[in-house]
Structure formats: C-alpha cells, structure tokens
Amino acid sequence: MQRRHFFAGAALGAVAATSVSRVALAALPEAVQQSSADTAAPWTPPGVTGAGRPYQPVVTLNGWTLPWRMNQGVKEFHLVAEPVVREMAPGFLVNMWGYNGQSPGPTIEVVVGDRVRIFVTNRLPEHTTIHWHGQRLPNGMDGVGGLNQPQIPPGKTFVYEFEAKRPGTFMYHPHADEMVQMAMGMMGFWVTHPKGRHPLIQEVQRDYCFLLNAFDVQPGSMTPQVNTMLEQNIWAWNSRVFPGISPLVARLNDRVRVRVGNLTMTNHPIHIHGIEFEVTGTDGGPVPKSARWPEVTTDVAVGQMRQIEFIADEPGDWAMHCHKSHHTMGAMGHGVPTMIGADHRGLVGRLQKVNPDYMVMGERGMADMGEMEMELPANTFPMMTGTGPYGPIEMGGMFTTLKVRADLAAGDYRDPGWYAMPPGTQSREVASAPTPPKAPSPDTKAAPAGTARKPQGHHGHH
Ligand SMILES: [Cu+2]
C-alpha cells in the first residue's frame, strides 16, 4: 500500500512567507525540490485559508504541484532541469532527467488571467529549453530552441513570462534535443483553471492529472536507451508503473475529472471499468456540450491532451488502464516464441545439458509469469506484477484502480484499501456445470416430461 506524502513543512513555509524583503524580491524564487514519488496532497497557495482557494485543485498522480510566490502581481515559479533518480515502482530505480528532483516535473497550476513568470535553471550536461504545449503566448516565449530563443546553456537561468489566457489542460517539455530529453523523462503538466464559473467547465469534486510516458530500460540497467523509437519496455503514467501508480480515489457520486496528456511515441486507448465518461475537453479547450458522447475508452494520441469526466456512482475497485495489452506489461522479450500447445517436457532435460539456463515458459499461456519467483537481474522490473485481494493481478505498466467508496470524507485522497464486496455480488465457482436449458423447438412441447430426446442430425429438425 502506498503512503501519501502530504506536502508541507520547511520547504513550503519558505515560499509561503508573505513578507518578502527587497533583496529577496530581486533574487530567484526558491526552487522547491520533491524527494518523494508518492501522490502529494493539493498545494494550498499562500494566504489561502479554509475553503478559500478559488478553484478545486488538481491532484497529480505520483506527482505534486509547484509552489509559487507572488511578486508584485506576478506568480513566480522556479523550475530546475536536472538529472534525477526516479523510483518507477517500489525498488525499481531509473536514472532520468527531470525537474526539481522528479520526473515528470511538478504540475503548474494557475487561473485564467494570471501573469506567470517561470525561471528555468539548467543543471543538465547539455542545453535545453521549455515549450509550453498548447498555450497562447508571445512567439518568443514558445520555447523552441533555435527558432524562438537561444538554447539555455548548462549552468544558466532563463525566464519565461506570459499571461494564462485560456482555461484547460496543458503540458510542458523541452524543445531542445527533444528525442533524448523526453526519452529521459523531461515533461510536466499544466492546468489553468477558469476564473469563476465557465459555461462549459463543470465543477468537480476530484480533479486528477497524469502524463503518459514510456522508457526503454534494459533488464539489469538503470538508464533508458534514448534511441529506441517504438519498442519501449516500460509503459508509465507519470514515470510510474503498476503497482507503483496511486489509485484514483473518489467518494460515491463525486463528479470526477481526469486529465491525461500523451508524450510517448504511440497512442494509448485509456479505459475505465464500471462507469461511462465523456471527453469534456481536449488540447484546444472545453468541448461544446452538443459534441460530447458517452464512452468507456478514449484514445489519447501522441501529443494530445484529453479531459474526461464521470459521476463515480458505482462503489468498488475498478480497473483503469491503457487497452493496448502490451502496455500493461513490464519488461519482456517480444521476440519470445509462442509456446501455447507445445508439449516440450521431454525436451527440457536434453536442452539443459547443452544450455543449463534453458527454461520452459508459456506452454499453457503466460499467466504463470505473475507468480513466478524467477531470479531477475538486479533492478529489473518484472513482466507482470501487483497482487490484489484474490491473487496476482498480472499487470505491470499503464494500470491502476479507480476506488469508489461511500464512506470517504470530501478531499480525502488516501488509499481506502481493497473493496469489501456485498455478499452474493461476486463471481464464484459452482459445484458442477448446470444442465443447459433445452432449446425451444416445436417438438419440445410434444415430448413427455422426463423423456430425453435423442440427438438428431441437422436434417432431423423440421
Ligand atoms: Cu498504451
């Protein structure tokens, strides 16, 4: 079970200070660091007490919201691009590049009309930039290295400044050595809340966000292969893989929004069990109500953002995952031959004389992998992992659960544990297969009760 990291304490206190000296105003805002890969509780802006926050904050799955400081009417943020070690699942560590201690970087959360100033310090071994994906902004703030600005050299700090013009779901990522820097995990989420009520943006009780990302981390290694185009083996949400992804928790009948952005090299059909949702927003903003339809899977193509919404009106632990079945798997060899139906028991002994490491796998399917205690190279993410109350879940990648409970407090995001099913509502084994009901046919009525009809050929029906 994961523990939540409630983001509070010394680091936050420093940026939350309301009185800032002239010297401090001139200095860069503190670059707040995050050491935990757990889901942080929503950040409370300085000066906000009780329910005074003017919006329902987002909760970033296995991520956090970057604190800002107010400087003469401008919200100031400080991102530091730097090498990080990300814990992708408990015990599975990967060398990445990210921001402020983690990959992805922190979520930036603002309100329409905010003047935003973002300082970007480069602590990478090569130059970088940040592109603010989807934003309306002056051309010189768009962050394409070489086209809109000089690259940010290692050791230097650049500043971006623009107004958050439209509400919605955005991303940020480098537009410099992009293939390498994104393959190393450099990306982050951005949410702009509407100012006051918006005719197409409903109020929600829970608002979650995460990025789809993918890595090629060879078994036993710690650094992604950055030149891999499509055969990534680690399919992640916010640089985490099941069972390392926090559940989405909702109170019964909450309206829930989930924002998803895709920065991998392929599309991901995101599927949620138990409810129907609508896509209420895309990259371009809120979807007109007449253009929404119910569905249970929505494809998020490369470079896209999707905002889905639903009423969490069915209690339970509902699976939520990418529907490409290879994307809910950990590191695996795609070149392994299919052995279903091949009885090679007699061969094993002979083959092991030649190759002592020879192992039989997959002759009855691959489900054995879920409980296999095979010795893996150090720091290798298993192909299938994660255990539920009824055994191995046989997943490992873009998978988590939507946990809907009646007895949650508003704003409680803690994992409530496994769902206790009401008696008689779970699939179960039966003693033996029941007698199939007789197919209605004209002579069924004619047959005396208790008389078994002899099977007849097809010509026997008339
Ligand atoms: Cu996928």
pLDDT one-digit tens code per residue, 234-270: 999 999 999 999 999 999 999 999 999 999 999 999 9
Q: What is the pLDDT of residues 311-331, one digit of tens each?
A: 999 999 999 999 998 898 877
Query: Residue 373: pLDDT band by 50, 70, 90 thresholds?
Result: low
CA of 303 to the centre of ligand 1 (A): 14
- Give 364 or 430, the one with higher predicted confidence: 430
State the pLDDT at residue 332.
61
Determine the average pLDDT of the residues in 154-176: 97
Cα–Cα distances (Å) from 202 to 89, 248, 313, in that order, read: 34, 19, 17
When mean pLDDT is compared over 227-231, 374-378, 420-424, the highest value belongs to 420-424
State the pLDDT at residue 91.
87
Residue 349 has pLDDT above 90, yes or no: no
CATH code given to domain 10-322: 2.60.40.420
Cα–Cα distance between 213 and 46 in angstroms, integer? 32
Query: Residue 271: pLDDT band by 50, 70, 90 thresholds?
Result: very high
State the pLDDT at residue 455.
45
Whether the CA torsion 191, 196, 201, 203 is positive or negative: it is positive
CA of 349 to the centre of ligand 1 (A): 39
CA of 67 to the centre of ligand 1 (A): 31
Give percent of the chain above pLDDT 90.
64
Angle (CA) 93 96 101, round 5°: 90
Give SS3 for 22. Answer: helix
Residue 355 has pLDDT above 80, yes or no: no
CA of 323 to the centre of ligand 1 (A): 6
Lowest mean pLDDT among 112-116, 377-381, 387-391, 416-420: 377-381
Residue 198 has pLDDT above 90, yes or no: yes
Cα–Cα distances (Å) from 260 to 207, 212, 283, 289, 308, in that order, read: 11, 7, 10, 20, 8
CA of 327 to the centre of ligand 1 (A): 5
Residue 298 has pLDDT above 70, yes or no: yes
Tokens (6 digits) for 176: 């410099």
Residue 376 has pLDDT above 50, yes or no: yes
Query: Residue 364: pLDDT band by 50, 70, 90 thresholds?
Result: low
Query: Residue 185: pLDDT band by 50, 70, 90 thresholds?
Result: very high
Q: Which amino acid is at 290?
A: S
Cα–Cα distance between 360 and 126 in angstroms, integer? 46
Lowest mean pLDDT among 36-40, 58-62, 402-406: 36-40
State the pLDDT at residue 177.
95
CA of 79 to the centre of ligand 1 (A): 29
State the pLDDT at residue 136.
97
CA of 198 to the centre of ligand 1 (A): 32
Residues measured by CB to lie within 5 Å of ligand 1, the ion: 268, 322, 324, 327
State the pLDDT at residue 444.
47
Residue 4 has pLDDT above 50, yes or no: no
Q: What is the pLDDT of residues 40-80, one digit of tens each?
A: 988 887 777 655 567 889 999 999 999 999 999 999 999 99
State the pLDDT at residue 242.
92
State the pLDDT at residue 171.
98
State the pLDDT at residue 24.
46
State the pLDDT at residue 360.
55
State the pLDDT at residue 446.
46
CA of 235 to the centre of ligand 1 (A): 7
Cα–Cα distance between 72 and 53 in angstroms, integer? 20
CA of 269 to the centre of ligand 1 (A): 6
CA of 395 to the centre of ligand 1 (A): 13
Cα 294 from chain centroid (whole Å): 21
CA of 268 to the centre of ligand 1 (A): 4
CA of 263 to the centre of ligand 1 (A): 11
Tokens (6 digits) for 40: 């942080």
Query: Residue 95: pLDDT band by 50, 70, 90 thresholds?
Result: very high
Cα–Cα distance between 160 and 315 in angstroms, integer? 45
3-state helix, strand, coil in the chain (%, to 5): 10, 35, 60
Residue 87 has pLDDT above 90, yes or no: yes
Lowest mean pLDDT among 186-195, 224-233, 309-318, 443-452: 443-452
CA of 296 to the centre of ligand 1 (A): 15
